[in-house]
Structure formats: C-alpha cells, structure tokens
C-alpha cells in the first residue's frame, strides 16, 4: 500500500534532520494518512479511501465528497477516486 493520499495526491517528501550541532542526515516526511469512509450524496453509497488529514479538511470545506471530486483535477486523483468521480458525473448528468 503506497503512502499517497487518494484525493490530493500528497506523498512522501524528503529533507534533512538537523541536530543541535547542525549535523544533517536525510529523512522522509510522510503524509498524515487515515483510512476513512466517505459518503457520496449523488450515488447514495459509501467509499473507503486512504486520505490525508489536509485532504479530509478540504473535503469538509468544499461540502462533501461530490463537491470535492467535481473540482478536483484528474491527475491528482487515484484510479479509484477517478472512477468514483466518473460515476458521480454520470448520475448528475442524467438527473
């Protein structure tokens, strides 16, 4: 399982651990990923996704999973999230 947010595409970054003596050694900064269940209003279905804490705040800010996916760029989304976005768009087009 990769350490990448399924909604925002946020992944590990690298940098330095700097000691008090200013010695530098390489380290990884991992995103704060959580397994969450998000509900789609259009589909009436829930989806389990691995989302960063920042991504979860953005979903709440935009008004839910459907609104977030409508504004999200396809290249940032995972394959599963892209499929969910396509289903939601199809349902909203017919309604």
- Output the pLDDT for position 64: 95
Which positions ≥6 away from 64 have C-beta within 8 Å? 38, 39, 40, 41
pLDDT at 2: 86
Q: How far is 29 from 67, CA to CA, in rounded Å?
A: 29
State the Cα–Cα distance between residues 54 and 88, nearest whole angstrom.
23
Write out pLDDT tens, residues 32-81: 999 999 999 999 999 999 999 999 999 999 999 999 999 999 999 999 99
pLDDT at 13: 97
Structure tokens at 31: 């995103």
pTM of the model: 0.88
Q: Which residues contact 85 (CB under 8 A, 6 or more apart)?
A: 69, 70, 72, 74, 77
Q: In CATH, which superfamily holds the domain spanning 13-94?
A: Ribosomal protein L28/L24 (2.30.170.40)
């Amino acid at each position: 399982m990769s350490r990448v947010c399924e909604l925002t595409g946020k992944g590990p970054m690298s940098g330095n651990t700097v000691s008090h003596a200013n010695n530098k050694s390489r380290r990884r900064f991992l995103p704060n990923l959580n397994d969450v269940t998000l509900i789609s209003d259009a589909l009436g279905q829930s989806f389990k996704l691995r989302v960063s804490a920042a991504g979860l705040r953005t979903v709440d800010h935009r008004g839910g999973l459907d609104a977030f996916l409508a504004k999200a760029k396809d290249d940032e989304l995972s394959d599963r999230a892209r499929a969910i976005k396509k289903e939601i768009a199809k349902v909203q087009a017919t309604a």
